[in-house]
């Protein structure tokens, strides 16, 4: 169960005659590489010098080798491209797994071949690069599952050196004889740590009410707080770690509050790329203005995004796919 956090509400009072505000109380809602052998002139295989024991090692003709590469190229290229286009943590996790499977399968199949002698070195480098990327994808999958990596850009940055090596190995095969080994069509960017200014609005509707919402982010990570009124976003605001921000003019209504912590805010995908978490306050926050003959009363709320002693509001984890975009 989540540690209680604080939501507090201060009831503000204004008289119609003096228009002065005063606080009047508080609310507290709660393997190996086998060789192909064959007969000279048979099925696109060219005989090579024997390796001992009377057996003959045979190589594929250039045409046959191109066919083997082509049969694997599209599936690998599609898997890498799909990974780069993943939106959401769940889709990213699935596509990392698919790419790992495709590249491992291709490496196994291609390592069982004997390529034309002229490109044997390039072939071996290509297969090694495929295995290297697949191995890295395995560890990357663990990082996605642990929410250490949260977006496709972060995954590509994590794969960067391996993808670059695979791209160069594919280009070497192409240059050596037009062999179709181009499977990397995406660019892996550098690891970044981007932040917005404290109090930057990512989305904002009209703020023409009397109430306010103060956000205290005492956590060690930056946060984005998203507030929903009904099924629509009222506003989303960026609050840096160890900082506070007050939103003024919140209109009356019942609001649900979601928040995400993380590192490196990607403004394009509107998500943290690393160390991400997703939560919501279980309790609905209500803002209400009451006008009488002599008074105007409204609520000012304060929330904390970190656990505190004496907190009276519960938070719950949110499935990343259910987090409001």
The CATH number covering residue 154 comes to 1.20.120
Residue in 273, 158, 284, 154 with CA at minimum distance from that of residue 222: 273
| pLDDT less than 70: residues of the chain | 1-57, 308-312
pLDDT, one tens digit per residue, over 12-50 is 433 333 333 333 333 333 344 444 433 334 445 555 544
Pairwise CA distance, residues 230 & 228, whole Å: 6
Instruction: Tell whether 113 and 211 lie within a shared domain.
Output: no
Asked if residue 9 is part of any domain, the answer here is no
Instruction: Tell whether 170 and 100 lie within a shared domain.
Output: yes
Report pLDDT for 34: 44
Report pLDDT for 260: 96
Instruction: Tell whether 279 and 205 lie within a shared domain.
Output: yes
Query: Pick from 122, 144, 177: which residue ends a domain?
Result: 177
Instruction: Tell whether 165 and 206 lie within a shared domain.
Output: no
Instruction: Tell whether 148 and 245 lie within a shared domain.
Output: no
Pairwise CA distance, residues 6 & 101, whole Å: 46
Asked if residue 190 is part of any domain, the answer here is no
Asked if residue 29 is part of any domain, the answer here is no
Report the first-to-last Cα separation within the chain, whole angstroms: 26
Asked if residue 288 is part of any domain, the answer here is yes
Query: Pick from 134, 162, 177: which residue ends a domain?
Result: 177
Instruction: Tell whether 243 and 173 lie within a shared domain.
Output: no
pLDDT, one tens digit per residue, over 257-272 is 999 999 999 999 999 9
Over the chain, what HEC string results? CCCCECEEEEEEEEECCCCCEEEEEEECCCCCCCCCCCCCCCCCEEECCCCECCECCEEECHHHHHHHHHHHHHHHHHHHHHHHCCCCHHHHHHHHHHHHHHHHHHHHHHHCCCCCHHHHHHHHHHHHHHHHHHHHHHHHHHHHHCCCECCHHHHHHHHHHHHHHHHHHHHHHHHHHCCCCCCCCCCCCCCCCCCCCCCCEEEECCCCCCEEEEEEECCCCEEEEEEEECCEEEEEEEECCCEEEEEEEECCEEEEEEEEEEEEEECCCCEEEEEEEEEEECCCEEECCEECCCEEEEEEEEEECCCCCCCCECEEECCHHHCCC
Instruction: Tell whether 70 and 149 lie within a shared domain.
Output: yes
Asked if residue 232 is part of any domain, the answer here is yes
Report pLDDT for 306: 82
Report pLDDT for 51: 41
**Structural domain span for residue 287:** 200-322
Instruction: Tell whether 86 and 136 lie within a shared domain.
Output: yes
- The vertex-13 CA angle with 4 and 236, nearest 5°, equals 50
Report pLDDT for 74: 96
Instruction: Tell whether 171 and 256 lie within a shared domain.
Output: no
Query: Pick from 144, 177, 210: which residue ends a domain?
Result: 177
Q: Assign residue 275 the CATH number of its domain.
A: 2.60.40
Asked if residue 43 is part of any domain, the answer here is no
Q: Are 224 and 265 in contact (CB under 8 A)?
A: yes
Instruction: Tell whether 209 and 296 lie within a shared domain.
Output: yes
Asked if residue 274 is part of any domain, the answer here is yes
Asked if residue 35 is part of any domain, the answer here is no
Instruction: Tell whether 92 and 141 lie within a shared domain.
Output: yes
Instruction: Tell whether 222 and 133 lie within a shared domain.
Output: no
Q: pTM of the entire structure?
A: 0.79
Domain count, the chain: 2
């Amino acid at each position: 169960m989540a540690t209680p956090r604080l939501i507090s509400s201060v009831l503000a009072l204004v008289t119609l005659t003096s228009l002065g505000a005063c606080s009047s109380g508080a609310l507290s809602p709660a393997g190996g590489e086998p060789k192909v052998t064959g007969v000279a002139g048979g099925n696109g295989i060219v005989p090579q010098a024997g390796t001992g024991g009377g057996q003959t090692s045979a190589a594929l003709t250039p045409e046959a080798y191109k066919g083997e590469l082509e049969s694997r190229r599209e599936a690998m290229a599609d898997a890498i491209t799909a990974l780069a286009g993943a939106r959401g943590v769940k889709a990213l996790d699935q596509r990392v797994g698919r790419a790992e499977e495709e590249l491992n399968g291709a490496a196994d199949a291609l390592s069982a071949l004997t390529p034309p002698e002229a490109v044997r070195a390039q072939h071996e480098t290509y297969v090694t690069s495929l295995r290297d990327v697949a191995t890295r994808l395995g560890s990357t999958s663990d990082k996605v599952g642990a929410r250490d990596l949260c977006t496709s850009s972060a995954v590509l940055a994590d794969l960067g050196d391996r993808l670059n090596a695979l791209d160069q190995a594919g280009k070497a095969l192409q240059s050596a004889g037009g062999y179709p080994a181009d499977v990397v069509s995406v660019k892996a960017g550098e690891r970044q740590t981007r932040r917005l200014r404290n109090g930057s609005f990512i989305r904002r509707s009209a703020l023409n009410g009397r109430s306010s919402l103060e956000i205290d982010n005492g956590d060690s990570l930056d946060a984005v707080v998203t507030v929903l009124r009904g099924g629509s976003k009222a506003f989303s605001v960026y609050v840096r770690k160890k900082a506070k921000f007050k939103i003024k003019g919140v209109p009356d209504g019942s609001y649900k509050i979601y928040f995400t912590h993380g590192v490196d805010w990607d403004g394009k995908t509107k998500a943290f790329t690393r160390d991400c978490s997703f939560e919501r306050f279980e309790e609905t926050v209500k803002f209400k203005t009451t006008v009488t003959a002599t008074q105007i009363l409204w609520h000012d709320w304060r929330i904390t995004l970190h656990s505190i002693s004496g907190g009276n509001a519960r938070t719950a984890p949110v499935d990343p796919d259910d987090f409001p975009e």
